[in-house]
Amino acid sequence: MVLDEPTEGLDPLVQETFFELMREAAAGGRTVLLSSHVLPEVQRACGRVAIVRGCELPMAVVVAGAPPASADAGRPGDRDGRLRGTDRRRGEHDSAGPAVLREGGKGTPSAFRAFSGSTGDVSIASYPGLLGAGLVHPFWIAMQLTAIGALAAAAVAADVELGTIELLIVRPVSRNRLLAERTVALGLAALALNAAATLTVATGVALSPDIHRDVPLSGVFAAGVMGCGFALCLMGPALAVSAWGRRRAQVIGATIAIGAVGFAVNFIALAWSKAAPLRFTSPFHYCTPGDALAQGHVLWPQLGVLVGVGVLGLVAAHALLMRRDLSP
């Protein structure tokens, strides 16, 4: 049986049905030849992989942990789900997992990682990649930016612009209390947004056995924690601009600029190798829900960076508010 790009145009559920039929055919004694550029499905479905480059066959690999129906299933030592192979051009044994495949083929373009919420290990064609793409979707990001920008603008800048800040201060309400109350309100709003998104994704994963096999619920909640860290990373600078500015538009514009420019910088850094170092300046490099969904746990180094930026923003907001003249 020869199949050329058989899953192209199929939705994930139909793809799963196709793979079941293919396994049944292999179990019945048929040899199935599958041609595909989608590396995750190759690793999932095949027992042996050959890579063609320049009309030659420079590399062949054995898929560890192959499906039971494949000829190589159950081979000792092949239970870790990685690819092991030999590069015929060099005669070197390679156990670097998917990197073996990437050496012989193009794989998923690097810039696509920006859409899957991953630093590179999760394909957008996989379930974690698809769900991660939803959690970094421009619409969802725009919703968070709008909510954070609007509430941050109301923290200080709106009262200065409307001339009501003096009424608040003479109640008397200290500047520390004013900033603390507005920060808590903004934090609760961001937490509510991320909790709603996390529970929605968790419900979908729990109700779909196919997705649940690839995405543990622990990964869903880990992605939710990463989302809260991303919100805090936006909150801190937004409140700092509010404590400094005199117009609501300044705060909303700055918040949206942080999100839009950050996403663009991350995308360019992934697409253009010469700009790769710039990715470390973008919050989207550290907000990686796709990786959290796939690995099933919180990525603490990335979360630490997001939280650290947010805390620095809050410290800056406090310092600016303490020193500024609040008269309109």
Q: Which two tokens stand for residue 35?
A: 């041609």
Domain identity same for 140 and 164: yes
Q: What is the tally of structural domains in the chain?
A: 2
Domain identity same for 124 and 94: no
Question: Is the per-residue pLDDT at 287 higher than 50?
Answer: yes
Residue 49's H or E segment, with its range, is strand 48-53
Domain identity same for 314 and 177: yes
Query: Which residues have C-beta within 8 Å of that of residue 41, sequence separation ≥ 6?
Result: 7, 15, 19, 125
Residue 168 counted as domain residue: yes
pLDDT band at 205 (very low <50, low <70, confident <90, very high): very high
Beta carbons of 239 and 183 less than 8 angstroms apart: yes
Residue 328 counted as domain residue: no
* Separation CA 323–CA 328 (nearest Å): 15
Question: Is the per-residue pLDDT at 98 higher than 70?
Answer: no
Domain identity same for 202 and 306: yes
Domain identity same for 84 and 168: no
pLDDT band at 184 (very low <50, low <70, confident <90, very high): very high
Domain identity same for 133 and 220: yes
Domain identity same for 50 and 121: no
Average pLDDT over residues 177-191: 92
> In this predicted structure, which of 82-86, 116-120, 217-221, 267-271 has the lowest mean pLDDT?
82-86
Domain identity same for 16 and 157: no
Query: Which residues have C-beta within 8 Å of that of residue 121, sequence separation ≥ 6?
Result: 98, 291, 294
Query: What is the extent of the structural domain holding 238?
Result: 116-323
Domain identity same for 294 and 218: yes
* CA distance from start to end of the chain: 77
**Which residue has 């410290």 as its token pair?**
315
* Separation CA 194–CA 267 (nearest Å): 23
What mean pLDDT is reported for the chain? 79
Q: Which of 107, 134, 167 is the last residue of a domain?
A: 107
Residue 143 counted as domain residue: yes
* Beta strand segments in 64-121, E: 83-87, 92-94
Q: Which of 71, 88, 107 is the last residue of a domain?
A: 107
List b or e across 222-257, with b for residues whose CB sees 16 or more CB atoms inside 10 angstroms. Answer: bbbbbbbbbbbbbbbbbbbbbbbbbebebbbebbbe
Residue 301: is the preceding peptide bond cis (ω within 30°)? no
pLDDT band at 77 (very low <50, low <70, confident <90, very high): very low
Residue 30 counted as domain residue: yes
Best CA proximity match to 245, nearest among 160, 181, 310: 160
What is the structure's pLDDT at 178? Answer: 85
Residue 207 counted as domain residue: yes
